[in-house]
Copies of this chain bind each other. A is one copy, B any other.
């Protein structure tokens, strides 16, 4: 017996809209909930001290008995990185391709969640029944092998999620996107398409990963000393091309950086990275070989301060330092927000004498994006011919741009839904409309704490970071309220004490005066006394320095 509310299809995001990261999309039909991806996001600049951000899964926890599983499109952090946190609270089966699950297993083992989690490997031919919904998968090209899109057949119609994709006509592993299957799905009829919007602002087609291989080959050929390539550890296809270039130009290859070593190991084990025997060397062997016989692949393409490449550039890496004449390739473009750290790393590499190849000075291209540009996106839209379109995986303007592309190939403007996380689109009898809003948001992770840092703590960190803190301590007598000790003022992050002794002396006087005044006015509540101290001191310091440090009055009574 089905009631009306049950037979409704709804689609929404718990993460991934109006942002790049923490992708998590939900398709629900009646009592069956399917989750697609569980990503993390790296913190925004203003999230001081936060390590990672994951989606708020309150909705899933409130409906935990209905969640049939989490389907994964591919093995990047913004699609699988949230799993160790989320599976701890929601024990459901996960479905993914071999490489994707290989990368997930590594994470789950570290989080002691491997045994409790049911994991099902799928491929291009799999069909999975999840309650009333049938899921199938289609190969796409992206900067990591074994990426798939997902088609969900529901009683209300088919919902397609592209995953992250581009159309690469000459992919590195010769594993083309399965355009035939996409065409078949499109022909049968797609009710709603959810498609990757990352590059919706970019005209043209995204280049083939193989172009990068050609550029790398040339660099390996002409480099007279060592060649060091930094790229994303997750870009297995790029790593394959570095392996191939090293092989073709008779260089041994050392792998540097924890996440790079890990990615190489897993993808070799699972057969996604083909490395000739004897090609890889231990980093300790680098200095024993002639420079022109060595290549290195490393993390640090974003100039991250603690990464292997940055440490090499500053002579702070244990195993290898950059020598004059080495060629260093940054085979990645800076992620928005990282432009300055990348530029600093390039500068430092030049300083130590390296020949640096990076996006600004490389005419033949040592990086291509893994995401489709406007023509790729239109090709997907044309293959799928969806009735409704919901652009995903992008900031607001990218979703907009993608919506316009959909309109340009014939999707009706009123059938394009530009959503935020938590906005639901409901389908019923072939018609779509906005439904009610779902609770969602950001869960901040700081160290071991999940969600114990919120706006108040962040506001305090912000305040502390701007002008530091002044702690004012004073001990009063329980008997007569007289000052027994203090006021003492201790400052951190405010000003050099040596340079401001007089200022702090005066501050001390202000506190004493304020306390005397309060005593005369018979202010007995500590809260009011503390407020008076804070206000008087804050005013004084702002007048004198134009700064507003946090002021923390502490009153002890003995």
Q: Which residues of A are in contact with B by a Cβ distance under 8 Å?
A: 18, 44-45, 48-49, 201-202, 336-337, 339-340, 343, 346-347, 350-351, 356, 360-361, 395-397, 400-401, 446-449, 452-454, 456-458, 460-469, 471, 473, 475, 484-486, 488, 490, 492-496, 499-500, 544-547, 550, 552, 554, 556-558
Contacts and interface: CB of A to CB of B under 8 A. Distances in A.
A492 B552 contact: yes
B45 A45 contact: yes
Given A346-B397, A457-B495, A461-B464, 19 more contacts: A45-B340, A49-B467, A336-B339, A337-B339, A343-B397, A347-B396, A446-B467, A449-B495, A449-B545, A457-B493, A461-B468, A461-B493, A469-B469, A471-B471, A471-B554, A473-B473, A475-B475, A485-B557, A492-B550
A463 B44 CA distance: 18
- Among A44, A336, A397, find the residue whose CB has the most chain B CB atoms closer than 10 A: A397
Nearest to A454: B496
Contacts of A446: 467, 545, 547
A351 B396 contact: yes
A18 B544 CA distance: 34
A292 B237 CA distance: 52
A28 B467 CA distance: 39
A460 B492 CA distance: 6
Contacts of A475: 475, 485, 556, 558
Contact of A469 (B396, B458, B492): B492
18 contacts: A45-B340, A48-B493, A49-B467, A201-B361, A336-B339, A347-B396, A347-B397, A446-B547, A447-B546, A448-B546, A463-B493, A464-B469, A469-B469, A471-B552, A473-B556, A484-B558, A485-B556, A488-B554
A545 B448 contact: yes
B347 A395 contact: yes
Contacts of A460: 468, 492-493
A465 B48 contact: yes
Nearest to A500: B452
Copies of this chain, count: 2
A490 B554 contact: yes
A463 B467 CA distance: 12
A468 B457 contact: yes
A366 to B, nearest CB: 15
A201 B362 CA distance: 10
Q: Is the interface of A mostly helix, strand, loop or mixed?
A: mixed
A111 to B, nearest CB: 14
Contacts of A484: 558
A556 B486 contact: yes
Given A456-B496, A460-B468, A554-B488, A340 B336 contact: yes
B360 A201 contact: yes
B495 A452 contact: yes
Given A446-B547, A468-B457, A550-B492, A452 B499 contact: yes
A360 B45 CA distance: 23
A494 B471 CA distance: 16
A467 B475 CA distance: 28
Contacts of A496: 452-454, 456-457
- Among A336, A343, A350, A465, find the residue whose CB has the most chain B CB atoms closer than 10 A: A465
Contacts of A554: 471, 473, 488, 490, 554
Contact of A464 (B360, B468, B556): B468
B464 A347 contact: no
A201 B343 CA distance: 12
B492 A464 contact: yes
Contact of A401 (B361, B468, B546): B361
A473 B493 CA distance: 19
Nearest to A338: B339
Contacts of A340: 44-45, 336-337
A448 B467 CA distance: 12
Contacts of A493: 48-49, 457-458, 460-461, 463-464
Among all A-B residue pairs, the 6 with the closest Cβ atoms: A447-B546, A465-B465, A460-B493, A464-B464, A347-B396, A484-B558
Contact of A350 (B397, B462, B488): B397
A41 B556 CA distance: 45
A466 B48 contact: yes
A356 B473 CA distance: 53
A492 B550 CA distance: 9
A546 B450 CA distance: 12
A400 B473 contact: no
B544 A448 contact: yes
Nearest to A395: B347
